Structure 1
């Protein structure tokens, strides 16, 4: 009997173990079903350290700028803070090539005795160490120079003309009376075409004087493009002052400047550069012969004008209300005739001369 009991116990033990295993599996499955889903984003054991981003540097304020009053170009605001200097420059054949003309802001060409011409050149934006040859004053020069203020330099002249210039508010620097060392004679040039001025030093000695006022209105690099100006394409300008002087200008596309010739030959300065200008302004002017054989260009008044810039020429008029007033250029439609920013030559052509423009 005991054998029977033992036999039945041995059979029941494996069944109970199997039941427990099955129950455990059910519990594990139930727990798994109730657990939250795992985060699919992989994690690392340590976070990467935050990278320090540099703070942006302080942006400097833009440098203050100004317009060069005699060129209309943008310059550093401090650079115009000095006077201009106007100098009478010789144009006799023996005076060529002249020194520093391409660095002048504005050059006036005027008729003098014998049918020759002479220059009243004004430097402000770019004053050379030396300019020349310096020659004598003429009766129209006060009307040209006074609107600029500052300084005027010349070698002398008839007493009446010197007095006319000295009676203006302009500081006169005169070679005949100079004891300051601003003038000297060049050994390699014939007299009287040999007087040279230390222009930069002259200006530096008078920095207390005011800079010049603007003389002309300026526009874009192609200021005559608007249809209202009716500007004509121009490749060449021919000017006749007299039988002795007939300069010309040719538009040079690569340099965007007018290149000068005199009496049919290319005109150069002492640096070897061809004389050039951004703008050529031609004014028809009356001549006053009340000083004998010395002509006086009449500048207080009005007359016919042409402005040539960027290979175009527009016709209009000029006017000057007084000695102290600048020259005003007006287009045929009544609007201002504007120049291109840069250097300018003003050709004061007598009414008995001529001005011709060729496409």
Structure 2
């Protein structure tokens, strides 16, 4: 099984707004906690129900982006299999956190929901005023979130949309009811990621499994010919939802990016990494049991990310859920 520790390239610049946000963050004093919290436990356990489908080619509003907890105490997660795109990033202490993006369907419940990071503001610029569901953020980051071109919806702004589930301790038990934030899923046209979908390209290397390692976390993807999907494992354990569904994207992208220090730290003093998603760099695209070398490009924060093969042509993804794992270049 191949493993990723270091990458092959790095992006070269950030968008103007992101640079402004980062500059503001660098002048902020360090802070050690989140200032927004969910409502009291209402005694309801998380559930997964029938997703709400949407027309595939007509955007009726913004995407929903949800920050998902990903430490062992937060697993299994709820509603993660319904996301169109799942982004995995490194956070404090070498751990990982997920950003799930929903456009074509909405599950009844999503979670556990956790706090936002500075990197999220740059990542979400590719969408048209997305709705960001998150549990809070460090005090000095909140003004930047409020100024970003998105709709922030924490428990403070939308208390009816959140509840505390039973069976887990806080902070790993905060769940979101998406129907309280969006009337319906906006549709596939709202996914302005820059991704292309189509038949598998020629070439590639037969690949049975791929592992991406962070200092204190790892993601493994094992090809299932029977399901025509990549089965996800996290920290060595098969990843499932609370409904028992195995997480199994059709396409996995290992995107090599520049990871730098931000001005923020957690309560233990660990620095919060900043993951730069604007620029260009190397990537690997896993689909149909094969791995393809690629180059990614996102010139401006408001652009989606395009992937090209060694011949310079677009590299299409398989139809279905996409996981993008940011690996340090």
Please say if residues 126 and 193 of structure 2, whose CA atoms lie closer than 8 Å, have aligned partners that are also in contact: no
Q: 1:181 to 1:252 in 2, by over 3 A?
A: same
Give the aligned partner of residue 220 of structure 2: 248
Please say if residues 229 and 249 of structure 2, whose CA atoms lie closer than 8 Å, have aligned partners that are also in contact: yes
Residues 11-30 of structure 1 mapped to structure 2, 5 A cutoff = none
Give the aligned partner of residue 234 of structure 1: 207
How far is the alpha carbon of 1:180 from its aligned partner? Answer: 4.3
Q: 1:153 to 1:90 in 2, by over 3 A?
A: same
User: Could you tell me how far apart the structure 1 residues matched to 2:234 and 2:55 are?
Assistant: 36
Give the aligned partner of residue 279 of structure 2: 301
Q: 1:172 to 1:259 in 2, by over 3 A?
A: same
Give the aligned partner of residue 144 of structure 1: 123
User: Could you tell me how far apart the structure 2 residues matched to 1:164 and 1:285 are?
Assistant: 22
Residues 137-176 of structure 1 mapped to structure 2, 5 A cutoff = 137-149=116-128, 150-175=130-155
Task: Render the CA deviation track for 1:85-111: whole Å, top value 9, x for unaligned.
Answer: 000000011111100111100000000
Please say if residues 84 and 203 of structure 1, whose CA atoms lie closer than 8 Å, have aligned partners that are also in contact: no
Gaps of 5+ in 2: 1-53, 265-270
Residues 177-196 of structure 1 mapped to structure 2, 5 A cutoff = 177-196=156-175
How far is the alpha carbon of 1:189 from its aligned partner? Answer: 1.8
Q: 1:101 to 1:248 in 2, by over 3 A?
A: same
1:345 aligned residue (320, 323, 329): 323
Please say if residues 155 and 174 of structure 1, whose CA atoms lie closer than 8 Å, have aligned partners that are also in contact: yes
User: Could you tell me how far apart the structure 1 residues matched to 2:119 and 2:327 are?
Assistant: 13
Please say if residues 216 and 328 of structure 1, whose CA atoms lie closer than 8 Å, have aligned partners that are also in contact: yes
Q: TM-score, normalised by structure 1?
A: 0.71
How far is the alpha carbon of 1:162 from its aligned partner? Answer: 2.5
Does 1 or 2 have the higher relative contact order (CA < 8 Å, sep 6+)? 2
Task: Render the CA deviation track for 1:31-88: whole Å, top value 9, x for unaligned.
Answer: xxxxxxxxxxxxxxxxxxxxxxxxxxxxxxxxxxxxxxxxxxxx84677534310000
Q: TM-score, normalised by structure 2?
A: 0.77
Q: Confirm whether residue 316 of structure 1 aligns to residue 294 of structure 2.
A: yes
Gaps of 5+ in 1: 1-74, 352-359
Structure with a larger share of its residues in helix: 1
1:117 aligned residue (87, 96, 111): 96
Instruction: Report the structure number with the largest CA radius of gyration.
Output: 1
